[in-house]
Amino acid sequence: MTRPTITIADKHGWSRAAIQVAFTIFVLTETWLVPIEGYLVDRFGPRPVVLVGGVLCGIGWVLNSVASSLPVLYIAAAVGGIGAGAVYGTCVGNALKWFPDRRGLAAGMTAAGFGAGSALTIIPISAMIHSHGYEMAFLYFGIGQGLIVFLLGWVPTRPPAHAKASDTRNVQQSRRDYAPSEVLRSPVF
C-alpha cells in the first residue's frame, strides 16, 4: 500500500530556495574542507579519516530525517558534507599515492566508484520515499550508508614505500609502471 508522498517543503512550509541552501552548504563543506581533511590523512593515515567520515555521513542523513527547522537541515547538510568530503578526498588522495604513475586512472576510477554508488541508490531511495516517506528514506539510507562506509573504512592503508615517487621533478613518478589491469586487481583499489 502506497502512502501519498509528502515533500519536505510541503510538510514544513519551506521554500525550495531555502531547502536548496542545504545542498549548497553540503557542497561547500564537502569540497572546501578537503585540504584540512588531507592534512589529517597525512598526520593520522587514511583509515581514521574515512571512519569518522562514514560516521558523519550517517549522522547527517539521520539528522535530515528528523529536521523540523531550517537550521537543523543546514547543520545536517554541513555534517554530511564534512563526512562525504573526508571520505571522497581521502579515497582520491590515497589512490593517487598508491598509483603515482597512474594518477589519472586512479582518480578517475575512484570518482567513477563514487558516482556508481550514487547512481545505484536512486531507484531504491525513490521507491522508499514513495512507500514510506522521505523521513524513513533519510533514516534508513543514512544508517546504511554510514555503516557501509564505516566498515569499508577499515580497508584503506598508506601505500608501501615502493609506491612513492622516486623523483617528483621527473615525469615518471615511480620505479614501477602499473598496468590498468594491475590497478583493478590490487586489494587497495
Question: In the chain, which ranges are continuous DSSP H helix?
Answer: 8-12, 16-32, 34-44, 46-66, 70-98, 103-132, 134-152, 180-185
* Cell numbers standing for residue 3: 502512502
- Is the separation of the CB atoms in 76 and 67 below 8 Å? yes
Amino acid, single-letter form, for residue 180: P
How far are the Cα atoms of 32, 38, 75 from residue 81, in angstroms, in the given order?
10, 15, 10
Q: What local confidence, expressed as pLDDT, does residue 35 receive?
A: 92
Q: What is the mean pLDDT of each run of 10 residues along the chain (189 residues)?
A: 73 94 97 94 95 97 96 98 96 92 92 91 93 93 94 89 56 66 81
Which domains are present in the chain? 14-158+172-185 (1.20.1250.20)
Q: What local confidence, expressed as pLDDT, does residue 107 receive?
A: 93
Instruction: Give the pLDDT confidence of 42-90 residue by residue, as tens digits.
Output: 999 999 999 999 999 999 999 999 999 999 999 999 999 999 999 999 9
* Cell numbers standing for residue 183: 590497478
Separation of alpha carbons 114 and 110, rounded Å:
6
Other residues' Cβ atoms within 10 Å of the Cβ of residue 106: 26
